[in-house]
Copies of this chain bind each other. A is one copy, B any other.
Amino acid sequence: MKPENRRAGRPPQDAAHRLARAHRILDATAELVLRWGYDKTTVEDIARRAEVAKGTIYLHWKTREELFSALLRRERVEMITEVRRRIEDGPGTLHGLLALLAAELLSRPLTRASLLGDSEVLGALTRRKRESTAAAELGGDFQTYLGTLREHGALRSDLSPAEQVTTLVSVLYGFLIVAQMMPPEYRPSDERLAELLADAGSRALAPAGPVPAGAARTAARATLAYVDAAVETAQRKLRVSLGTEESTQ
């Protein structure tokens, strides 16, 4: 309506520009959500901060919710990629993997909030579908990973695969939630917490007898393979959320 539109339309915008713009929008979203929380962050706020029109956001995502889903998925990619990068320095054990995962989870407010169902930050988004939560998105590959470790004697064999997953998830959640509830003066540092968590988790699944020769090497390979797969999965889901790739289902 207004004739003095600053600049409507024009440069056809190639794919690279489109992608950069999507990330700019996600940057703005992350910043505002961390400051005000999901409930109080409006699409218009985001548009203003990303310096695009509101309608432009809807050229990328069909609904507000899909926008936030993309944000969480991008965070998840960053997290698991960082784990992938740092795991090469370590021994490639379950213990090491848990410690890295915990440390990364603790240092990323959005991912942590999404995992813990922190309604302070994520508001109504928390109460939504639990299926597509971080646990579920990375959980599928995880069970097969544990299965591999078990087959090679790197894990105890008297728990079913499902029970092993339950055990690890419980330990993970337990430490994160309890730490959050503790008064700060009693709370261990994030590094120490990651260590305690990894310790408890790996001990819970440690094999009864001595580890077979060569199991360490096999385990390290399986761990790396799992993390690689998890990175791949996370990236694929992110590409779907960014419209870079069609959803295959």
Binding site for B on A (CB under 8 A): 130, 159, 162-163, 166-167, 169-175, 177-179, 181-182, 186, 188, 192, 196-197, 199-200, 203-204, 206
Q: Are B174 and A196 in contact (CB under 8 A)?
A: no
Q: Are B159 and A171 in contact (CB under 8 A)?
A: no
Q: How far is the CB of A63 from chain B (nearest CB, A)?
A: 26
Q: How far is the CB of A168 from chain B (nearest CB, A)?
A: 9
Q: How far is the CA of A178 from the CA of B162 in the complex (A)?
A: 13
Copies assembled: 2
Q: Are B181 and A174 in contact (CB under 8 A)?
A: no
Q: How far is the CB of A117 from chain B (nearest CB, A)?
A: 9
Q: How far is the CA of A178 from the CA of B201 in the complex (A)?
A: 15
Contact among B159, B197, B206 for A196, CB-based, below 8 A: B159
Q: Are A200 and B170 in contact (CB under 8 A)?
A: yes
Q: Which residues of B are found within 8 Å of A192, using beta-carbon distances? A: 163
Q: List 27 A-B contacts (CB under 8 A).
A: A159-B196, A166-B178, A166-B182, A166-B186, A166-B188, A166-B196, A167-B196, A167-B199, A169-B174, A169-B178, A170-B171, A170-B174, A170-B175, A170-B179, A170-B196, A170-B200, A171-B171, A171-B174, A172-B174, A173-B174, A174-B177, A174-B178, A177-B177, A199-B204, A200-B203, A200-B204, A204-B204
Q: Which residues of B are found within 8 Å of A203, using beta-carbon distances? A: 200, 203-204, 206
Q: Which residues of B are found within 8 Å of A175, using beta-carbon distances? A: 170, 174
Q: How far is the CA of A206 from the CA of B216 in the complex (A)?
A: 22
Q: Are B163 and A196 in contact (CB under 8 A)?
A: yes
Q: Which residues of B are found within 8 Å of A171, using beta-carbon distances? A: 170-171, 174, 200
In the complex formed, the residue of B with least CB distance to A164 is B196
Q: Which residues of B are found within 8 Å of A177, using beta-carbon distances? A: 170, 173-174, 177
Q: How far is the CA of A128 from the CA of B204 in the complex (A)?
A: 34
Q: Are A167 and B200 in contact (CB under 8 A)?
A: yes
Q: How far is the CA of A179 from the CA of B171 in the complex (A)?
A: 12
Other than A174-B177, A200-B200, give 14 A-B pairs with Cβ distance below 8 A: A162-B186, A163-B192, A163-B196, A166-B179, A166-B186, A169-B178, A170-B171, A170-B179, A170-B196, A171-B171, A173-B177, A174-B175, A174-B178, A177-B177
Q: How far is the CA of A162 from the CA of B182 in the complex (A)?
A: 12
Q: Which residues of B are found within 8 Å of A169, using beta-carbon distances? A: 174, 178
